[in-house]
Structure 1
Amino acid sequence: MEKIICCLLLCAVLLVNNLVESRRVSSSRRVSSRYGDASLATCSSDEECIIHNECDEVNQMTKKGRFTYEEEAYLRTKLCKFYRRVHHFCCKKQKVSIRLPQAPDCGLYFSDRIYSTSEDTYIDQYPWTAMIMYSKPGNRIESHCGGSLITERHVLTAAHCYSKVPKNWKLLHVRLGEWDRRSNPDCMEFINEVVCNDPYVDVPVKKVIEHPNYKKYSLNQHNDIALLELEYNVKFTTYVRPICLPIDPRIGQMNFTSHSVEVSGFQLNEKYANSSLTKKVYYLNVVDHDRCRQDIYTGSKAMVSNSQICAGIEEEKEFCNPDSGGSLMKEGIYPTSKFPHYQLIGIQSYGPERCATQYNPGVYTLVSQYMDWIVENIN
């Protein structure tokens, strides 16, 4: 008798388990809710399954207090989860807005040591300097252009750094936090201490956004500007930080003629291999725009536009050119902040092969003229 009772109890347990499992499987396919028996939807690649009160589209319908027949039928097709009496719907992925940082969150470096020659930089100076890395024949990975980190997700550079490099080069990633190309991490010796930075960071490039009006075969090189969207957000540190952009329109109206400006980088150029092993800085003066346009570049048949700015060094050196696509910047107090900080004034476009002087200056894309385009394309 005991054996019979045990068998009956075991059968009852198995039956209950089968019913629970059957109900669980069934509920994974269909849900019962205020929308009736509805099959769970599979969200498309541009949608996500989120709780109803986080979906703007659903909220717009619920504000009215009741649904029409068509709205209720539509919501049935979007119902993707019903858990603990909470509805989830397939909703368009919300676009995350990326803002341009403003001082003191950009344009600063925090060194408390004095270390400077006419060309050498301190180990954490110009932390927005980016190296654009290419894959070349023979499995070589090298950099021949630079750029400037402007957000946690974007680097600003010249359009020619993407469209005018040889066809067998492939843009791979952006290197941030580099100072000495011979070591990783880098260290700098002082009298009483040795200071080392963090290892550099290589961030893959997800997308290249060239200005739509850039023409790579034009002598003028107007609109020579591009955004590199990175695969993921970079973490800001002492050695990786963004430079400020001229967000305030008043900065775009400033006349920088004869002002001292700075360029930094590794002398990277997509055509020539004379690059520096360590990050350098050069101090230039902005050349009068009319003189640059009429007296200097007229003979070369290149037309310098109002969206370009010219700058060169006082005395010619053996080699002093900045990175192609690198930053022309100026430190000062601007309308957007009470803190002295660096603003990105220009992007290196073209100029003399070895050293741009005031009599034969380099030409830079004037960043303030492209702020609307930049803001539109970072979001």
Structure 2
Amino acid sequence: MASTEWNFLVLLMVIMAFSEWVQHSDAAQITFGSCTPQESDERGQCIHITSCPFLAELLTTEPQTPAQLLLLSKSQCGLDNRAEGQLNSTLVCCPRSKRIDVEEPEPSHLPGNDQQPGNVLPGNDVCGFHFADRIFGGTNTSIWEFPWMVLLQYRKLDVNKSTSSNEYTFNCGGTLLNTLYVLTAGHCLANRKLEKAGVVLHSVRLGEWDTRTDPDCSTQMNGQRICAPSHIDIEVEKGIVHDQYVPNSVDQQNDIALVRLKRSVSYTDYVRPICLPTGDLIQNNFVDYSMDVAGWGLTENRQPSPTKLMLTVNVLNRTICQLKYTSFKVKLYESQLCAGGMAGMDTCDGDSGGPLMVSISTGGRDVFYIAGITSYGTKQCGFGGWPGVYTRTGAFIDWIQQKLEA
């Protein structure tokens, strides 16, 4: 279906659902970034259509002119998949002068921003939700997608390796768990390659999408331009590698680590935690599940991607995966997952420590859980028939909870 046809179908559904707006028009206004409204020179904000009377009133105009329908269509700047109902989830670029005069919530007043202790994990009413339209051989993500993803920033040591320089590099990824902790791979903290490169973990970058720009801006399919807030860099207080992880081991068992930040994170629609597996998901090996991986790692050009990329992979039976890796004398454990294996599509250098994500329908909404952590694969990324190996997060839930401190 052409995008124009889809937009008009969405508008028809919005019009049919207009009666819901009357009941929700007093809801708190939330902004999803700045934008440039159609037919206007002033700046706008991407907000729920219920908070923009200028556009919401067009829904009740009968009959609607082609120009009004086109304006509504081109004003859409996304969908909020956390809201229920087509009307309540529709987002539009609303001129600043034509919004409801409601105070926009500061980050500290958003759900989950109660500055909870570091040993408290958010519930699935806070974690795992992302706002989006919807690696190696991967596709571009939207500017809002996977808000729990972080970059680990390393500081290069001077030649004598006793003092730090002002050079920084991104060598690994990670996943925000709560206001103080990031989950990553053990080899992102304990690794001979990092030692030889003379780098040390310094900080974590949150709310990033394109490493070349700050702030990040993106032009949507309908021509709407959206800009996110600036990214956030927070220094690392300490790294916690699993006690039984052996750096540079062949099988990379227990390849998991936590990073504690020096200060708490405030959640926004661009910085938000993922959910850890709970209940039956803890023991699930996810065979034949389709999952997402994402990161800024090497692309098919052997260069790091400046923008966050994503890829969908299927989880394989570990026995089948073991047959492949036996030739390298590598043993796979129950605490590991195998996924992917299609030629030209894989996680690669720089994606290490990033999440293997599964979307589960919970309470009528799609909630993302971190099923695995990118661990290792073949030296040549994207080699057909060779899946990547991931640390299975469910096997380490107790370890994670024991290491979290208030």
TM-score above 0.5: yes
Structure 1 residues 259 and 96: CA distance shift in structure 2, 3 A: closer
AA matched with 2:249 = S
Number of residue equivalences: 275
* 1:306 equivalenced with 2:334 (yes/no): yes
8 Å Cα contact 1:103-1:339 kept in structure 2: no
C-alpha displacement at 1:333, in angstroms?
A: 2.0
Q: Distance in 2 between matches of 1:329 and 1:351?
A: 18
AA matched with 1:214 = Y
Q: Distance in 1 between matches of 2:344 and 2:302?
A: 20
C-alpha displacement at 1:347, in angstroms?
A: 0.5
8 Å Cα contact 1:144-1:268 kept in structure 2: no
**Mapping 1:176-187, distance limit 5 Å:** 176-187=206-217
From 129, 136, 150, the equivalent of 1:130 is 150
Q: Distance in 2 between matches of 1:347 and 1:96?
A: 24
Structure 1 residues 369 and 338: CA distance shift in structure 2, 3 A: farther
From 260, 283, 306, the equivalent of 1:277 is 306
Aligned to 2:355: 327
AA matched with 2:283 = Q
Give SS of 1:298's match. Answer: helix
Give SS of 1:175's match. Answer: strand
C-alpha displacement at 1:352, in angstroms?
A: 1.9
8 Å Cα contact 1:245-1:344 kept in structure 2: yes
8 Å Cα contact 1:312-1:358 kept in structure 2: no
C-alpha displacement at 1:366, in angstroms?
A: 0.4
* 1:231 equivalenced with 2:262 (yes/no): yes
8 Å Cα contact 1:209-1:226 kept in structure 2: yes
8 Å Cα contact 1:203-1:232 kept in structure 2: yes
From 230, 249, 272, the equivalent of 1:199 is 230
Structure 1 residues 145 and 366: CA distance shift in structure 2, 3 A: same
* 1:103 equivalenced with 2:121 (yes/no): no
Aligned to 1:254: 284
**Mapping 1:1-379, distance limit 5 Å:** 96=117, 98-111=119-132, 113=133, 119-137=139-157, 139-164=166-191, 165-167=194-196, 168-190=198-220, 191-248=222-279, 250-267=280-297, 274-293=303-322, 295-317=323-345, 320-321=347-348, 323-333=351-361, 337-356=363-382, 359-379=385-405
8 Å Cα contact 1:287-1:358 kept in structure 2: no
Q: Distance in 1 between matches of 2:255 and 2:138?
A: 29
AA matched with 2:289 = H
Structure 1 residues 97 and 154: CA distance shift in structure 2, 3 A: closer
Q: Distance in 1 between matches of 2:375 and 2:257?
A: 11
Structure 1 residues 152 and 329: CA distance shift in structure 2, 3 A: same
Q: Distance in 1 between matches of 2:364 and 2:344?
A: 35
Give SS of 2:189's match. Answer: helix
Q: 1:285-322, CA deviations, whole angstroms, 9 ceiling, x for partnerless residues? A: 111111112x11111111100000001143434x6537
C-alpha displacement at 1:255, in angstroms?
A: 3.8
Identity within the alignment, %: 37
8 Å Cα contact 1:145-1:326 kept in structure 2: yes
Give SS of 1:166's match. Answer: helix
AA matched with 2:206 = L
Q: Distance in 2 between matches of 1:352 and 1:192?
A: 40
Larger Rg: 1
8 Å Cα contact 1:132-1:171 kept in structure 2: yes
8 Å Cα contact 1:143-1:268 kept in structure 2: no
Question: What stretches of structure 1 of length at least 5 have no aligned partner?
Answer: 1-94
Q: 1:173-193, CA deviations, whole angstroms, 9 ceiling, x for partnerless residues? A: 000011011100000012332
AA matched with 2:361 = I
TM-score, with normalisation over the residues of structure 1?
0.68
Structure 1 residues 118 and 347: CA distance shift in structure 2, 3 A: closer
8 Å Cα contact 1:109-1:126 kept in structure 2: yes
Q: Distance in 2 between matches of 1:326 and 1:152?
A: 18
8 Å Cα contact 2:283-2:395 kept in structure 1: no
Q: Distance in 2 between matches of 1:288 and 1:274?
A: 31
8 Å Cα contact 1:311-1:356 kept in structure 2: no
Q: Distance in 2 between matches of 1:316 and 1:217?
A: 26
8 Å Cα contact 1:244-1:344 kept in structure 2: yes
Aligned to 1:46: none
Q: Distance in 2 between matches of 1:194 and 1:279?
A: 18
**How large is the Cα RMSD of the aligned pairs?**
2.3
Q: 1:98-156, CA deviations, whole angstroms, 9 ceiling, x for partnerless residues? A: 31112120111123x45xx9611000100011100001156320101000001110000
Structure 1 residues 97 and 166: CA distance shift in structure 2, 3 A: closer
C-alpha displacement at 1:274, in angstroms?
A: 2.4
Aligned to 1:32: none
AA matched with 1:323 = D
Q: Distance in 1 between matches of 2:150 and 2:285?
A: 27
Q: Distance in 2 between matches of 1:234 and 1:146?
A: 17
Q: Distance in 2 between matches of 1:229 and 1:127?
A: 18
Structure 1 residues 300 and 151: CA distance shift in structure 2, 3 A: same
Q: Distance in 1 between matches of 2:155 and 2:255?
A: 22
Q: Distance in 2 between matches of 1:171 and 1:376?
A: 23
TM-score, with normalisation over the residues of structure 2?
0.64
C-alpha displacement at 1:273, in angstroms?
A: 6.6
